[in-house]
Amino acid sequence: MSRQMRISDLKADAASHSSRLRTVLRVNHSLLKFVHLIGGAVHTGAVQARFRCPCCGYRTLDTAAALALCPVCWWEDDGQEDDDAGEVRLTVNGQLSLNEARDYFATCGAAHPGFIPYVRKPEVTEQ
């Protein structure tokens, strides 16, 4: 009788584990769908700190001065800051100085009027 009880206990235990496993898989599948919907960004713990774009001032950059393109103003962050904002570096931002790009952003919402089709509005988390 004890062997029979152990087999039935094992079957019940296996059924319980199987049910828990199905639940975990459903939750993981839902999480994967959510991650896909938010663009693949997964953050654990605290919200990831972002850097401000030197042109528009929104927190859109994952790393400062890493040649990242700001989606809000289309300025490519080449490390230019306030101390040399009037210089035209003739690099990734072409003939634009940071001051000129800021003026354009204030008037048309992009670092240059030619970039208007590519920019987007800032998200609440980027304020």
Please give the pLDDT value at position 49. 76
What residues of the chain score a pLDDT lower than 50? 21, 24-25, 27-29, 31-32, 34-36, 39-45
Which residues partner with 76 through β-bridges? Answer: 69
Please give the pLDDT value at position 103. 98
Please give the pLDDT value at position 25. 45
Angle of CA points 20, 25, 30, to nearest 5°: 130
**34-65 core/surface letters (b: 16 or more CB in 10 A; e: else):** eeeeeeeeeeeeeeeeebebbbbbbbbbeeee
H/E stretch holding 51 = strand 51-52
Coil, strand or helix at 22: helix
Angle of CA points 48, 51, 53, to nearest 5°: 145
Query: Domain ranges in the chain?
Result: 1-42, 51-126
Alpha-helix runs per DSSP H in 1-127: 2-37, 98-108
Please give the pLDDT value at position 6. 66
pLDDT digits (tens, 9 = 90+) for 38-73: 544 444 445 567 999 999 999 999 999 999 999 999
